[in-house]
Amino acid sequence: MEERPASTLSALEYDPAPESAAVARLRESYGLFIGGAFVEAADGATFETLNPATEEPLARVARAGEADVVTAVAAARRAYDKVWRKTTGAQRSKYLFRIARLIQERSRELAVLESLDNGKPIRESRDIDVPLAAAHFFYYAGWADKLDHAGFGPDPRPLGVAGQIIPWNFPLLMAAWKLAPALAAGNTCVLKPAETTPLSALVLAEILQQAELPDGVVNIVTGDGSTGAALVASALDKVAFTGSTEVGKVIQRRLAGRPTRLTLELGGKGANIVFDDAPIDEVVEGIVDGIFFNQGHVCCAGSRLLVQESVAEEVLRRLRRRVDQLRVGDPLDKNTDVGAINSAAQLEKIRELTAWGEREGATRYTSPCALPERGYWFAPTVFTDVAQTHRIAREEVFGPVLSVLTFRTPDEAVAKANNTTYGLACGVWSEKGSRTLWVAERLRAGVVWANTYNRFDPASPFGGVRESGFGREGGRHGLEAYLDV
């Protein structure tokens, strides 16, 4: 057809489609949640939490000192002894179901708040973080009265008081991963959210109040690393930590010689392995989901792409086209694919490691997308010509930065994938089931995805080996971390 109607668009430039920030019902200040009530820190200390997309302050939050941590742990101990250990599984289940439903009811508020505080795109907080958080509570609500059948023998006992320290990349979801199994198993908790993302956990505290969870069963202490250190030093029966390998090692040292149980979910340098027979369009999506999901702030991110040499050129050509399409910008815009980097410190770390990538001779490709002037931003970046010796192939960047390596044979793919100190997650892409299974059996990683990446489900256990930590979260296995078995 030669004649073109006047209405033809040159391209579908999406107008802004922002979600309203008012939905988050931000308050000026947030207190600690101890013994069922919101309180100031004993010494009155507070800190500011920023919107990483604008660098504007969002709210002031109480900074828990040692005294507050002691109070919170005491409240949790009291609640454990007096109330929670005496509840039946069915009663605990009832509370967990209530919490799950309340998260769903307040999902829009939680999603907007999460995007404001963390910088992640609203599409992800709305479609992934918040629904999955609710799903975890639903899932473990189902287990609470069936612990006898979880495979740990009759009547497994809870551990007692759990101290739980969570990271800033999935603030609400990580809180759900920690709290839901702990409560289902009959423990009480002191949760310490990350310094840069305390808000959604405090709204979750409101939800716990709405659900009429008995006072002290969950306590939330906000603060920085010193608050976390005070928590680890407290009289706890269990510590669960998700965060960097560096801090994980410190915690393990501190707990040495103490009866406190420990599970760690640490860093990773996941390999996404693409064979020449893989479904190529879905591979490209999988690579993008693997490394650019949540700005690459994902411990299990597929940050190393291992692609078979015979298809490398084609995969990279398609990947480049796709990377150029990623929409980077306002996290509250419903069409944003990649949001803001969570903090200035993290941005600095990403910049440093990518500078090393160039210095060590890798070839850098950065999406030509325009970045906002204010806020913390890093354009999606792909390094090719990466060698196993390069820092960007060995260290966790925790940002939207992909390192591409190639391989020739399945053996070589496995050897390169395993050539890391981490062992959290890997992806295998092939249309040949036997090859996928062959490779998966040989990968030293807690999670192996086949023809997909970064898929999560509360019924599926998640966790690492080697320097990625130990213990599992999710599934029946996730209960073990909170039972005396």
Partner 1 sequence: MVEVSPAPLRLVVDDERALRPRPGASVPVVESEAQLRSLLRGLAGVDAVGAEARAAKLATRSLKRETKRAAIDLALSMVDLTTLEGADTPGRVASLCAKARRPDPEEPDAPAVAAVCVYPDLVATARAHLAGSDVRVASVATAFPSGRASRAVKLLDVADAVAAGADEVDMVIDRGAFLSGRLGEVFDEVVAVRQACGPAHLKVILEVGELVTYDNVRRASWLAMLAGADFIKTSTGKVAVNATLPATLVMLEAVRDFAESTGRLVGVKAAGGIRTTKEALRYLVVVNETAGSAWLDPALFRFGASSLVNDLLLQRRKQRSGAYARPDRVSVD
Q: Return the active site residues.
A: 265, 299
Q: By CB under 8 A, tell whether 8 contacts partner 1.
A: yes
Q: Segment 283-322, which members bind partner 1 (CB under 8 A)?
A: 285-286, 309, 312-314, 316-317, 319-321
Q: Which is nearer to partner 1, 81 or 281 (CB)?
A: 281
Taking the C-alpha atoms of residue 193 and residue 174, their distance in angstroms, rounded to an integer, is 9
Taking the C-alpha atoms of residue 142 and residue 224, their distance in angstroms, rounded to an integer, is 34
Residue written as tokens 């109070």? 71
Q: Segment 413-442, which members bind partner 1 (CB under 8 A)?
A: 431
Q: Which is nearer to partner 1, 128 or 205 (CB)?
A: 128
Q: By CB under 8 A, tell whether 382 contacts partner 1.
A: yes
Phi, psi of 341 (to 5 degrees): -70, 140
Q: Which is nearer to partner 1, 149 or 321 (CB)?
A: 321
Q: By CB under 8 A, tell whether 20 contacts partner 1.
A: no
Q: How far is the CB of 438 from partner 1 (least distance, A)?
A: 18
Taking the C-alpha atoms of residue 309 and residue 406, their distance in angstroms, rounded to an integer, is 6
Q: Which is nearer to partner 1, 55 or 431 (CB)?
A: 431
331 to each of 28, 113, 342, how far by Cα in Å?
21, 11, 11
Tell me the window of 101-109, 186-194, 199-207, 274-282 that interacts with partner 1 (CB under 8 A): 274-282
In Å, how far from its chain's centre is CA 471? 16
Q: By CB under 8 A, tell whether 358 contacts partner 1.
A: no
Q: Which is nearer to partner 1, 326 or 344 (CB)?
A: 326
Q: By CB under 8 A, tell whether 14 contacts partner 1.
A: yes
Among 3, 28, 48, 373, binds partner 1 (CB under 8 A): 3
Q: Segment 442-471, which members bind partner 1 (CB under 8 A)?
A: 451-452
Q: By CB under 8 A, tell whether 55 contacts partner 1.
A: no
Q: By CB under 8 A, tell whether 4 contacts partner 1.
A: yes
Q: By CB under 8 A, tell whether 364 contacts partner 1.
A: yes
Residues that bind partner 1 (CB under 8 A): 1-17, 123, 127, 277-282, 285-286, 309, 312-314, 316-317, 319-321, 324-325, 334-335, 363-365, 382, 384-385, 406, 431, 451-452
